[in-house]
Amino acid sequence: MEITSGLNEFQNRVYLDRISRLVRDLSSTSIDSQLFVDEMVSLSKLLSSLHRKLGKSIPSIDKNALDPAYFIAAYFDTTNLGDAILVYRIVRSLTRIILLSDRFYETGNEKYALLAIQVRKSLNEFLQSGSNVQHLIYYMDYWLTQFSAFWEFERTIKHRIINNSTFSYNEIRHFNLSKSSDASLVYSRVLDAMLPTFNENVAMVLHYNQALLDIQDDWEDIENDIREDMPNIFVMAAVNYVPYHKIKDSSPEMIRKVVLSRINSSGGPIGKLVREIHDLSEGVPVPNSFGFLKSLSSRYAETLRRTIFTTYF
Q: Which amino acid is present at 107? A: T
Q: What is the DSSP letter of 183?
A: I
Band (46; pLDDT cuts 50, 70, 90): confident
**43, pLDDT greater than 90:** no
Q: In degrees rounded to 5, what are phi and psi of residue 140?
A: -65, -30
pLDDT tens digits along 152-188: 999 999 999 999 999 999 999 999 999 999 999 999 9
**117, pLDDT greater than 90:** yes
Q: Mutual orientation of helices 269-282 and 169-179 as an angle, nearest 10°?
A: 50
Q: Mutual orientation of helices 291-308 and 69-78 as an angle, nearest 10°?
A: 160
pLDDT tens digits along 184-243: 999 999 999 999 999 999 999 999 999 999 999 999 999 999 999 999 999 999 999 999
Q: Mutual orientation of helices 33-48 and 9-28 as an angle, nearest 10°?
A: 170
Mean pLDDT of the chain: 87
Q: Would you state the torsion angle of the CA atoms of residues 305, 205, 138, 116, taken in this order, to the nearest 10 degrees?
A: 10
What is the pLDDT averaged over residues 64-86? 87
pLDDT tens digits along 13-26: 777 788 888 787 77
Q: Which amino acid is present at 108? A: G
Residue 87: what pLDDT? 93
CA–CA separation, 87 vs 24, rounded Å? 17
State pTM to two decimals: 0.89
Residue 13: what pLDDT? 75
Nearest residue to 182 via CA among 148, 215, 152, 139: 148
